[in-house]
């Protein structure tokens, strides 16, 4: 299929920092409404891939399209238009310290011209969707627990009803129960909005719960991709080693570096 | 030939930094004059840079004025020129000590604060979050600080000039026995528009340097807490050195205009 047939398409993407090659012919296609999880070890290029999609990093080669539109080398105005379609949950939530919970959630709405009172109402509704009541809306991020920050981050990511949502390690730093709650919230919220999602994680429980499709990144490229239910029978040694958390296997060389 | 490699590396790193700084400055200036603006954030930064710097700048100025009067008296009394003290105080304060001391003190306070705040935002991905929320970080974080720095520093220095002259007046009148009315009349008669104006121009340039160094080092910080600490140190050191360099350059320019 052509890259224009997909909501998000990355073809032959190359990115390196000095001599270190991070993405080396990376390919990934995501259909509209699909939930794709990219798994991989630490430092294999998952975050770099996401930053290339967000326009924070520019790849040296390859094409990245969103809704068929090339997003590499576009103007700030064009980038803003693309970003209007995107919501993002950061690994550590990345809430603005100087703003209250509701202001954090409403930030993207007000940036797009929504009035303060309407933005506050929407923020309260989105916070309710992630299980946070009115008692937290005027708190500041430094008084929230890790799980609550993730919830606020999730509310901020879905506040503008984006067509695309990126999740960067959504369960990292949380206990297993809170991690599972966040997974459920992601599934629930994405179901509500019908958004296309891309999640990067190394938490297999999270991946199995969130994903329609899982892709494994290794050595700067996708080494296996397929439906979630087929990952156990991937037939790929790297995938098998990773999902079972075994020390021995082809992944070992990278781990020892 | 191996000894050439580190020299080359350092040269390239220096040139890359200069290039990054020029691009950063150009981009930030462009966003400072191009709408949309964030008046609430600009006002907040003006209060932070202007109002909250008043105590430190005021204290610096009054003591500078007092010391200046005492030291001038020590020197001038050796050739019976004590009457020149009001002139020396007002000239030194308005042209040099007001802007330079205020610049250095505000540099320690504001460049450090900006670098630490932006640096923390950078390493905790808050700057990236702004981008994903359709908000340009230059416009939201850098431009308001530029505008506040350039506008508030001249106001701060003008106040510092008054307080510095007051410091000289207090010492001269209450410790050295000058006639109060004569002191003030001498000060008023001697000071010229260019004396105050040149100091205010310097102040605007120093405000730009302080906010530029704070924003640049904070925006480009990396590596967690250590990186933020390094960015803060670099911001204060580079701002202070640049203030002293540009003070000489601006003094030279005004010197040639006077001449």
A88 with B129: Cβ contact below 8 A: yes
User: For an interface test with A, which of B12, B126, B128, B132 has the most A Cβ atoms less than 10 Å from its Cβ?
Assistant: B132
Q: How large is the average pLDDT for residues B134-159? A: 95
Q: Is the pLDDT of residue A136 over 70?
A: yes
Closest CA to A160 of A194, A112, A127: A112
Residue B218 or residue A244, greater confidence? B218
Q: Is the pLDDT of residue A256 over 70?
A: no
Distances in Å between the alpha carbon of A117 and those of A91, A110, A120? 29, 10, 5
User: How sure is the predictor about B245, in pLDDT bands with cuts at 50, 70 and 90?
Assistant: very high
pLDDT tens-digit readout, B117-132: 999 999 999 999 998 8
A88 with B126: Cβ contact below 8 A: no
Question: Hunting for tokens 């309710």 — which residue is that?
Answer: A128
Residue A223 or residue A191, greater confidence? A223
User: For an interface test with A, which of B37, B120, B129 has the most A Cβ atoms less than 10 Å from its Cβ?
Assistant: B129
Contacts of A95 in chain B (CB under 8 A): 126, 129
**pLDDT score recorded for residue A255:** 44
User: How sure is the predictor about B19, in pLDDT bands with cuts at 50, 70 and 90?
Assistant: very high
What integer best gives the mean pLDDT of chain A? Answer: 88
User: How sure is the predictor about B87, in pLDDT bands with cuts at 50, 70 and 90?
Assistant: very high
Measured between CA atoms, how close is A216 to chain B, in angstroms?
25
**pLDDT score recorded for residue A257:** 42
Q: How large is the average pLDDT for residues A137-153? A: 92
**Which uninterrupted H or E stretch holds B236?**
helix B224-258
pLDDT tens-digit readout, B168-184: 999 999 999 999 999 99
What are the structure tokens assigned to B84, written together? 């020149």
Which of B121, B126, B134 comes nearest A83 by C-beta?
B134
Q: How large is the average pLDDT for residues A26-39? A: 92
Contacts of B121 in chain A (CB under 8 A): 96-97
Q: How large is the average pLDDT for residues A157-181? A: 87
Rounded Cα–Cα distance for residues A160 and A83 (Å):
11
Domains and CATH numbers, chain A: 1-85+196-257 (3.40.50.300)
Q: Is the pLDDT of residue A43 over 90?
A: no
What share of chain B has pLDDT > 90, as a percent? 84
User: How sure is the predictor about A219, in pLDDT bands with cuts at 50, 70 and 90?
Assistant: confident
B131 with A54: Cβ contact below 8 A: yes
Q: Is the pLDDT of residue B1 over 70?
A: no
Q: Report the 10 Å Cβ neighbour count for B17.
A: 12
Q: Is the pLDDT of residue B144 over 50?
A: yes
CB proximity under 8 Å: B 108-137 to A: 120-121, 124-126, 128-129, 131-136
A84 with B129: Cβ contact below 8 A: no
**pLDDT score recorded for residue B35:** 86
The complex's ipTM works out to: 0.85
pLDDT tens-digit readout, B48-64: 999 999 999 999 999 99
3-state secondary structure B73-136: HHHHHHHCCHHHHHHHHHHHHHHHHHHHHHHHHHHHHHHHHHHHHHHHHHHCCHHHHHHHCCCC
**pLDDT score recorded for residue A3:** 64
**pLDDT score recorded for residue A6:** 86
Rounded Cα–Cα distance for residues B12 and A217 (Å):
34
Q: How large is the average pLDDT for residues B183-205? A: 94
List all residues 6 or more positions away from B136 whose beta carbon is below 8 Å from its beta carbon: A76, A80, B31, B130
Contacts of B131 in chain A (CB under 8 A): 54-56, 83
Q: Which of A103-117, A185-199, B243-257 has the lowest mean pLDDT?
A: A185-199
Q: Report the 10 Å Cβ neighbour count for A227.
A: 10
Q: Which of A50-54, A175-179, B91-95 has the lowest mean pLDDT?
A: A175-179
Distances in Å between the alpha carbon of B194 and those of A14, B92, B201, B213? 58, 13, 10, 28
Q: Is the pLDDT of residue A95 over 60?
A: yes
**pLDDT score recorded for residue B224:** 85
**pLDDT score recorded for residue B219:** 95
Dihedral of CA atoms B193, B199, B204, B210 in degrees, nearest 10, equals: -170
pTM for the full model? 0.87
Q: Is the pLDDT of residue A253 over 50?
A: no
Inter-residue contact B134 to B232 (CB < 8 Å)? no
Q: Which of B6-10, B116-120, B138-142 has the lowest mean pLDDT?
A: B6-10
Number of inter-chain CB pairs under 8 A, A vs B: 47
What share of chain A has pLDDT > 90, as a percent? 47
Which of B125, B133, B134 comes nearest A92 by C-beta?
B125
Measured between CA atoms, how close is B23 to chain A, in angstroms?
15
A54 with B126: Cβ contact below 8 A: no
């Amino acid at each position: 299929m052509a890259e224009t047939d997909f909501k998000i398409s990355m073809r032959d993407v190359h990115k390196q920092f000095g001599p270190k090659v991070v993405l080396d012919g990376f390919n990934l296609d995501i259909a509209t409404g699909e939930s794709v999880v990219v798994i991989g070890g630490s430092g294999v290029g998952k975050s770099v891939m996401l930053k290339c999609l967000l326009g924070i990093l520019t790849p040296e080669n390859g094409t990245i399209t969103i809704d068929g539109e090339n997003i590499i080398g576009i103007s700030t105005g064009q980038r803003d238009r693309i970003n209007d379609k995107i919501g993002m949950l950061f690994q550590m939530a990345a809430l603005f310290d100087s703003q209250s919970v509701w202001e954090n959630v409403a930030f993207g709405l007000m940036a797009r011209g929504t009035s303060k009172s309407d933005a506050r109402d929407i923020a309260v509704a989105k916070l309710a969707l992630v299980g946070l009541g009115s008692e937290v809306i005027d708190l500041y991020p430094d008084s929230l627990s890790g799980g609550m920050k993730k919830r606020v981050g999730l509310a901020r990511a879905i506040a503008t009803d984006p067509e695309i949502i990126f999740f960067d390690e959504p369960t990292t730093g949380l206990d297993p129960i809170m991690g599972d709650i966040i997974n459920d919230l992601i599934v629930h919220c994405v179901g509500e909005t019908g958004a296309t999602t891309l999640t990067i994680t190394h938490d297999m429980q999270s991946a199995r719960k969130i994903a329609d499709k899982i892709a494994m990144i290794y050595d700067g490229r996708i080494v296996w991709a397929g439906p979630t239910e087929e990952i156990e029978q991937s037939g790929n040694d790297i995938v098998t080693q990773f999902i079972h958390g075994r020390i021995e296997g082809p992944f070992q060389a990278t781990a020892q570096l | 030939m191996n000894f050439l490699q580190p020299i080359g590396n350092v040269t390239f790193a220096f040139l890359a930094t200069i290039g990054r700084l020029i691009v950063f400055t150009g981009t930030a200036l462009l966003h400072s004059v191009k709408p949309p603006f964030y008046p609430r954030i600009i006002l907040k930064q003006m209060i932070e840079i202007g109002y909250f710097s008043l105590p430190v700048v005021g204290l610096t100025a009054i003591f500078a004025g007092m010391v200046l009067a005492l030291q001038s008296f020590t020197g001038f009394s050796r050739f019976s020129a004590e009457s020149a003290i009001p002139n020396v105080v007002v000239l030194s304060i308005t042209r040099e000590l007001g802007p330079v001391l205020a610049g250095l003190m505000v540099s320690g306070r504001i460049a450090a604060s900006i670098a630490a705040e932006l640096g923390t935002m950078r390493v905790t991905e808050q700057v990236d979050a702004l981008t994903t929320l359709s908000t340009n970080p230059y416009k939201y974080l850098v431009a308001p600080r530029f505008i506040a720095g350039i506008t508030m520093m001249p106001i701060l220095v003008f106040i510092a000039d008054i307080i510095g002259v007051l410091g000289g007046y207090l010492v001269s009148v209450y410790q050295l026995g000058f006639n109060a009315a004569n002191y003030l009349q001498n000060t008023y008669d001697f000071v010229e528009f260019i004396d105050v104006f040149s100091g205010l121009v310097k102040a605007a340039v120093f405000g730009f340097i302080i906010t530029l160094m704070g924003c640049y080092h904070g925006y480009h910080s990396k590596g967690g807490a250590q990186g933020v600490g390094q960015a803060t140190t670099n911001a204060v050191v580079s701002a202070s050195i640049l203030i002293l360099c540009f003070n000489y350059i601006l003094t030279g320019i005004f010197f040639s205009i006077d001449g």
